[in-house]
Amino acid sequence: MEFADALLVSIVTASTPLLLAAIGELVVERSGVLNLGVEGMMIMGAVCAFATSLTTGNPYLGILAGIAGGAVMALLFAFLTLGLVANQYATGLALSLLGLGFSGMIGEHYVGTPGVKLPTLDIPVLSDIPVIGDAIFNQDILFYMTIALVFGVSWFLFKSRTGLILRSVGENHNSAHALGYNVNRVRLYAVLFGGVCSGLSGSYLSLVYTNLWIENMTAGRGWIALALVVFASWLPWRTIAGAYLFGAVLILQFHAQGAGWEVPSQLLSALPYLATIVALVFISRNRTVARVNTPSCLGQSFVPDR
């Protein structure tokens, strides 16, 4: 029983940052923008959250700083791709490289310093449920926020009028423009939301998951989150399944190493990346299913005619 408890808690902890970043990117992509800079926004969120919580001693201020870090990066991306119609692929890459470089510079003084841990909020009674109690009802605020976000985004995209506008902008920006919607403004808000989510995800990594600052600590999680959006075929609910699947793979490697399997540790560490490739092949193989939910204008810039 003890082991199942701990296993579940660790899987939830590994999955939450993936889920956070993926749900943010899902909204961005639904608006027709492909932001490949998730990794960069995430790591900036991580370093800002870590540095702020360490200097102020308050992890909640750290979260705010993490959000700000992700949002500023997202604004940069928006300025280039929406304002200056720069290529979204290249700009996203630039964002990732910039974030990795910049965070390394900011975080240099914090390497090896233990951080401030985000406290868990125990929900009485419910957290006493065996096995799942600890994993679901004795978590920190970011976990609860993540679950609320998935609910919220799902409702927003498919039940609210604004969500419908956002999706129409992603499906056909010319029609949305003709109907009088400001395409690039909608996209700006979507990109900002993505930045906030990635910032939160980074905060989770440095305040909960490792509680340390390590250079390049995102280790490709931003890219895995991007893959998750494809895996979920742009449907919010499916990101949960995807994120927990990947979280389980991430955790498997630690437990397999602990259990003394005769497998090189590097192979186990490569598992999440290999799993991502396999998952992408699996989901993209059936082209019709994969394309039904793909926003038609994904990755295309919009310049209104004058």
Partner 1 sequence: MRLEMQKRGAPSQVMSLMSPVLAIILTLITGAIMFGLLGFNPGKALYVYFVEPLLDPWSLQELVVKASPLILIAVGLTICYRSNNWNIGAEGQFTMGAIFGSVLPIMFPDFQNYAVFPIMLAMGAIGGGLFAYIPALLKNRFATNEILTSLMLTYVALLFLDFLVRGPWKDPDGYNFPESRLFNDYALTPSLFEGGRMHIGAVFAVVAAILVFVLFIRTLKGFEIKVIGETPRAGNFAGFSKEKMTVFAFVVSGALTGLAGILEVAGPIGQLRPTISPGYGFTAIIVAFLGRLNPIGAIFAGLLLALSYLGGEAAQVDLGISEKTAKAFQGILLFYVLACDTLIHYRIRIVWRNKLRAKEVA
Residues numbered 189-228 forming contacts with partner 1, rule: CB under 8 A? 219-220, 223, 226-227
**Amino acid of residue 250:** L
Contact 70, 202 (CB under 8 A): yes
Calpha distance 205→115 (Å, rounded): 11
Q: Verify binding: residue 270, partner 1, rule CB under 8 A.
A: yes
Calpha distance 213→192 (Å, rounded): 25
Site string for partner 1, 137-176 (x = CB under 8 A): ----------------------------------------
Contact 154, 278 (CB under 8 A): no
Contact 11, 248 (CB under 8 A): yes
Q: Verify binding: residue 256, partner 1, rule CB under 8 A.
A: no
Nearer to partner 1, 167 or 221 (CB): 221
Least Å from the CB of residue 219 to partner 1: 8
Closest by CA to 66, choosing from 203, 165, 164, is: 203
Closest by CA to 225, choosing from 207, 208, 250, 206, is: 250
Contact pick of 78, 80, 118, 249 for partner 1 (by CB under 8 A): 80
Nearer to partner 1, 52 or 88 (CB): 88
Please identify, among the stretches 14-22, 199-207, 245-253, 268-276, the one whose residues bind partner 1 according to the rule CB under 8 A: 268-276
Site string for partner 1, 224-253 (x = CB under 8 A): --xx--x-----------------------
Residue entry with tokens 């970043």: 21
Concatenate the DSSP letters of all residues of 58-106 into one string.
-HHHHHHHHHHHHHHHHHHHHIIIIIS---HHHHHHHHHHHHHHHHHHH
Give the helix/strand (H/E) hosting 224. Answer: helix 221-231
Q: Verify binding: residue 102, partner 1, rule CB under 8 A.
A: yes
Residue entry with tokens 């920006």: 173
Nearer to partner 1, 60 or 102 (CB): 102
Least Å from the CB of residue 90 to partner 1: 6
Q: Verify binding: residue 111, partner 1, rule CB under 8 A.
A: no
Residues of this chain that bind partner 1 (CB under 8 A): 36, 76, 80, 83-87, 89-91, 93-94, 97-102, 104-105, 108, 219-220, 223, 226-227, 230, 264, 266-267, 269-270, 273-274, 276-277, 280-281, 284-285, 287, 290, 303, 306
